Structure 1
Amino acid sequence: MRKINTRNFHRASRSTSREVNRQIVLNLIREQQPISRADLARRMEVARSALTLIVRELVASGSIYESVDDSGTHGLGRRPTLLRVRTNAQLAIAVDVRSTDTTIALADFSGQVLARDTFATPDTPEALIDELAERIPVLHPPPAGGLGAGHGERRGVAIVVPGMVDGRTGRVLYAPRLRWRDVDLCAPLSRRLGLPVYLENAPIACALARLWLAPEETAAVRNFAYVSISEGVGVGLVANGEALRGEAHTAGEFGHVLLDPHGPTCVCGKRGCWESFTCNAMTVERYVERVMHRRARRAAGERWSDATLSADAYARPTTVEEIVGRAGRGEEEAIWALAETGWYIGRGLASVVSAFNPGRIYVGGEITAGWAFIEGPLRQALTEGTLTEAARLTPVLPDRRPAEYRLLGAVALVAAPTFAAPPVA
């Protein structure tokens, strides 16, 4: 589906469907809310009277609602009526599947999470479907959620998985970290819940969250990439306001682009994939090897101070967050491990920039908490791997809430059809 560009649009004429104008109005209200009818007319460069029928239809359908301007900035006279998009009447159920645990969230179309539940990810897709079919119907916000919170219409379920998917058929094509191949998740769950079920991979879901639920950040950048660095590595691409999925819906698998044929073995079975150098497990391994190297040199009789090591440095860390914490305390091995991973992230980003030329790159994942340690090496590798000054200067920004963006991407998957541009033949 294609998002309307509210900064560069063409109004429909008598020869085209009024639906186009309706969607332009809906998206302008959504991105500029609260907005008056007069401001809306100015944005569309039409007389206010030309919008009367469309606004009336949107109010009648419940898509938007009117409110009085209480800001006190309108001066004397009658307070203007402002238009807002009604989001709490429409709800989405978002499912974020990871190799260790699965999170379910009930959210409205603005992305506000009203309730959530987390459980250990089952070993088989059949068991996951059973678990979801049991938990989703009883997921409700607490009574303190507010009047009417969570009581809107549930419009669908969206599942986000770490792997290659075909959203058209609702099948997981290959998810190596889940050890699933050619799995139908959507149809059986839809039958059991009586709701439409959508499927997307993690990086594209994160890109959709940026596109649909953070319009103030991406309105001026319609070509961007979201790079997810976590258990695995994936890239979600947005071109001209639309997620780029490719002919077989497997675009964005930069994580398995070869960096070094003699590199570490990747979970996919190949050697030297970008993912094998930058995933969370490799950052942990990199740190442990560095600490063990220091220990071996000290055992060999070299004078080596442990002054920069934390008290539990020889206790193997299990998460990137632990390493980021140790780096923050000045531990040299942790700082080195994060910097090394940052350099490899930059090497892969150079391929993304060269192939796609995005206006901006977002990097998400647990490692972004250590952005101060990875940004410099990342930028150095990106500079070394690109050919033009514009490519070298591509903005690269950390996402501070990567876990939420998977869930928000699932919400966007359900909500987007309401705001998307009408299909064009």
Structure 2
Amino acid sequence: MALPRSCPAVLVSAPASGQGKTTLAAALARLHARRGRRVRAFKCGPDFLDPGWLELATGAAVHQLDLWMTGEADCRQRLHDAAREADLIVVEGVMGLFDGAPSAADLAQRFGLPVLAVIDASAMAGTFGAVAHGLQHYRAGLPWAGVVANRVASERHAQMLRESLAAPQDWLGALARNQALTLPERHLGLARAGELGDALQRLDAAANALAQTPLGGMDIGALKRWEVRIPAPAVTAAPAPSLAGRTVAVARDQAFCFIYQANLDTLRALGAELVFFSPLADAALPACDALWLPGGYPELHAAALAGNAGMRASIAAHVAAGRPIWAECGGMMALYEQLASSDGEVYPCWGVLPGCVTMHLRLAALGPQQLQLAAGVLRGHTFHYSTCATPLSPAARTARPDASPAAAAGEAFYQHGPVRASYFHAWFASCPEAAASLFLAGAAA
């Protein structure tokens, strides 16, 4: 029988997005990993980009924690597993501390994770104390670790910020305004850590700066004050190996990179053998029974994808043979006939689905979604800047978690021959049976 586990843990949050959560969380993880401690990190909410920075910092796989998408039982299992082997657990929040339903604050309270707040103090002085006080006391019973000021102009500025706090012990330090500590961004969020040759140097610079603060000076004994006890998870049955003996080819490169590690784990638990390939670099698909085209940035690599005639022909042959494809968001975009960039350039795509995808400068959809299939309900989310025009009729549509019968329909789910496609990003572990059906020929939507 599994026993409860205890480990120092913090949830890094902020008043809003863009305050420096990822920088602080990754710097804290990197600092302790450099000191020889075993650090495990998580990302609160659906996100494909921030986990890459946390993985670089810790050297370990990073999973999502979300009380709705992944579920409380899944969160407990992953935290319990981490507590068995880690000296420190770092959870990066999502948006602002109380934003979303469920929010990062909900997760912190459910598992007793002390909140470490980072506040962009570049345009404030005494108000810093009011913001910190509000974060700590807005909701009764919120576990609290303290606060770090980010983008601070000078030592005098830091002193003013510190003096504004009602509880001096909440002060855990300040990080100076420094472009070297800033993680680069683009239209879907942070740039991927794997694309930057200096990614580790950026994390080390942030870790070096953090080492000069009270937070960075805490040894393992001091971290014990943030020790969290994680109850033992319930025993759950393994999913039926409905993909046993089947090989699933997974696109993975700079154009197709939005992949939850838990989704790969789920496919393997279902019995699938996974092989990876690059639609950008490879001339053909590997031998496979089914294909997964995850999301990513096909719009940034449209010319290269269009120029890979061998891969286009190989995917067409896969479809002609009746072998299944699950294409989500960017993966679906590449299957259309054309992709129009936001500046008017039009690129040919793989032509498996009729229609055209158009990129926009504004976000087209964002939020949690769920998809009802014959085999069960998959949970996940949507986040995209493009729209598609197609004569295809949706086989189904996603819905928001709280959708009423009168609520607007969510993302279209298309079934065109052996192809299933949607802007919806699925969390396979939410219903392994439904996930398996996406990779089985003839499975009903």
TM-score by shorter chain over 0.5? no
**Relative contact order, CA 8 A, sep 6+: which one is greater?**
1
Normalization by structure 1: what TM-score? 0.26
TM-score (norm 2): 0.25
- Choose between structure 1 and 2: higher helix proportion: 1
Larger Rg: 1
